[in-house]
Amino acid sequence: MAGTPAWGTRRGPVVPYVPGLDGLRALAVIAVIVYHANRSWLGGGFLGVEVFFVISGYLITLLLIAERERQGNVSLGNFWLRRARRLLPALFTLLISTAVYCALFDRDRLGMLRGDVVAGVSYVSNWFQVWSGSSYTTEFAFAPLRHLWSLAVEEQFYIVWPLVMFLLLRRLRAKTLPILGVIFTGGAVAIAIYTAVIYRTGVIDTIDKTPEQFMSLFGRQVLRTDFLYLGTITRASGLLLGAALAAVWRPWAIRRGRAGANANGLDLLGLAGLSALAFMCWKFREVVSVTDEGTHGYDLLYRGGLFAVGIATLLAIATVTHPRSRLGKYVIGTPLLVWVGKRSYGLYLYHWTIFQAYRKSAGTALNAKEFVALMLITVVVTEASYRFIETPIRTGSALRRYREWRALGGRFRPEVSVGVATLMLLPLFAVGSLATAKVMPDDITANLNANEDSITTIAPTTLPSMGTLPVATTTTAPPKGRIDVLAVGDSVMLGSAKKLAAHGITVDAAKNRQVIYALQIFNFYKATGELGDNVVIHLGTNGITKKATFERILEPLKNVPRVIFLTTRVPRHASEALNNAIINELPLTFPNVTILDWYSLSKPHPEWFSSDGIHPNKVGQDNYVAAILSALGR
């Protein structure tokens, strides 16, 4: 009949509720939360975000196809309104609550928080983090809104994708939807290839030392790993894979076709997909890892790892959405997982900010007791948000009840009105404080920056490698005389550089320094004849280091009468025990080495440290310097 939509009448498919999808969401959010609590518990837990991306790509595309098939068109306004009612209430609650918390209890953080709040409201957190260099993996920062990057990626997809589907579906019929599936899959493959080509293996340091690890973004140099991990385009492969599945695997079509008869074989494929996801979450390392050579991106992740996660997730989605899947109904679709899955958005939103409010520093790992206590708080906050904010606004029941109450003559009692007015003033106070706050670095960063002028560095700073490392020579300046006490360390020593220098100690310390970097320093001063009778070393804070590396940096110091090596304090990091065990055995091989057990000395004194428990505060710095002077006999 002329004028009838190519895809039928207003009677048509409706996307059914699938408990198994909520179950998958639950598994994904649990993996992410465990990873955020303590990376050593589940090194690849961050892959749960990619699972979310694939599920989102599948569901959003499925909804758009169903609406086109049911009504003959896609209402973009209604789609975006539904998304806004689903996502914005909890997000605004989080942003306002975080601003209020900082305005009342942590005002020094407000200036640094302002950019994150603006980026969160406008759903560009991922690009803000790429542009500002506030990397997803920075450990020592107080970053209560860092996790909003993934929501920004999804929201940008929600804005653009309906427009794309609106144009594509106008010219396609239902029978030709598999063509879209092929196109979307090709797009995902192209993105995976692009990511692998853009990525650079090797050490990641400053732009001066490792320029190949940076790239230009509208004239600004940004880290490649940040761009690839946080960028919307490079993370769209999972979204496109989900969209491709939606084009060929639609529940209403499955029920009508032969594929809906049974799901025995599909259950096996789904089990394989879930097993693959579990294996990758268990075996994958962190987004960036620290080795003897320095900080590295995780090569496997950027060279096919994320794509593999997407494929495994497709198998799981295809299985749990099948109407006869036992895996989807009796395993993934169990009531507990469904309950968690329905609240996965709130759990993801609130857990990270609650963790950060407690531990202050992003890289501080939680122990089991802290994790349980903070998760109880998270669950309570999430449930309250789900019941009293998200659901009423999403369903429209809040406005409907208010209108009914007002129609019946309902009025607030005076004391209630005062309470409501007071609660409304808090957000206004927080927003005002946020807008006028000065940008102040956190206490750790501020202290490290203040000590930068008190250190001595050598030039050129050739990036060391675990291969042959050239010995620095004195081609630019003659020897300046023997250094009485040379102290070489990382950011822990850098924080006390002024106080050490005040006692005549020459300090060469730097942020994020790896143990192997000391080899060039010691080779340089040995070649110039400037090594004196005393060397102090405090390295090993930034990751696990091999015994051979510690021994290698001590080789140039064999003729130094006294080498004092400090143990490390890195609470809840595996490197603490492993590196300290090696350091404590160094005197067996190098008789001129004396151990200063900073770990044992400082362990009973948490009051000596900043929020991360690693960098000494002013009191800790005094004790740190005193311990070194005592070891030197001064």
Distance between CA 284 and CA 281 in Å, rounded?
6
Distance between CA 24 and CA 58 in Å, rounded?
13
At residue 116 the predicted structure's pLDDT band, cuts being 50, 70 and 90, is very high
The Cα-based distances of 348 to 122, 175, 190, 361 in angstroms read 18, 38, 29, 18
Q: What is the pLDDT of residue 363?
A: 76
What 3-state DSSP class applies to 596?
A: strand
**DSSP single-letter state for residue 141:** S
Question: How would you write 232-297 as a 3-class SS string?
Answer: CCCCHHHHHHHHHHHHHCCHHHHHHCHHHCCCHHHHHHHHHHHHHHHHHHHHCCCCEEECCCCEEE
**Least confident window among 254-268, 295-309, 341-355, 421-435:** 254-268
Distance between CA 414 and CA 519 in Å, rounded?
73
Alpha-carbon torsion (606, 608, 609, 613), positive or negative:
negative
Give the sheet arrangement for strand 485-489, strand by strand: 506-509, 485-489, 534-538, 562-566, 593-596
For the whole model, what pTM was predicted?
0.88
Q: What is the pLDDT of residue 416?
A: 61
At residue 1 the predicted structure's pLDDT band, cuts being 50, 70 and 90, is very low
Mean pLDDT confidence for 180-185: 95
Tokens 């749990």 belong to residue: 320
Residue 10 has pLDDT above 60, yes or no: no
- What distance, in Å, lies between the first and last C-alpha atoms of the chain? 99
CA angle 231, 448, 364 (to 5 degrees): 60
505 in Cβ contact with 462 (< 8 Å): no
Give the residue, 448 or 193, on which the prediction is more confident: 193
Tokens 């042959």 belong to residue: 468
Residue (of 190, 108, 93) closest to 145 by Cα position: 93
Distance between CA 309 and CA 28 in Å, rounded?
12
Distance between CA 515 and CA 103 in Å, rounded?
40
- How many CB atoms are closer than 10 A to CB 400? 11
364 in Cβ contact with 613 (< 8 Å): yes
pLDDT tens for 119-133 read 999 999 999 999 988
CA angle 481, 499, 501 (to 5 degrees): 10
Q: Which CATH architecture has domain 444-631?
A: 3-Layer(aba) Sandwich (3.40)
pLDDT tens for 565-623 read 999 999 888 889 999 999 999 999 999 999 999 999 999 999 999 888 899 999 999 99
pLDDT tens for 375-409 read 999 999 999 999 999 999 988 766 676 666 666 66
At residue 258 the predicted structure's pLDDT band, cuts being 50, 70 and 90, is low
Residue 6 has pLDDT above 50, yes or no: no
Distance between CA 120 and CA 134 in Å, rounded?
14
54 in Cβ contact with 314 (< 8 Å): yes
Residue 426 has pLDDT above 70, yes or no: yes
Q: What is the pLDDT of residue 388?
A: 92
Q: How many percent of the chain have pLDDT more than 70? A: 88
Q: What is the pLDDT of residue 293?
A: 76
Per-chain mean pLDDT for the chain:
88
Distance between CA 198 and CA 133 in Å, rounded?
18
pLDDT tens for 507-555 read 999 988 999 999 999 999 999 999 999 999 999 998 889 999 999 999 9
Distance between CA 80 and CA 160 in Å, rounded?
10
Distance between CA 159 and CA 150 in Å, rounded?
14
Distance between CA 559 and CA 257 in Å, rounded?
81
Residue (of 312, 301, 242, 302) closest to 277 by Cα position: 312
At residue 8 the predicted structure's pLDDT band, cuts being 50, 70 and 90, is very low
What residue ranges do the domains of the chain occupy? 19-436, 444-631
Q: What is the pLDDT of residue 634?
A: 86
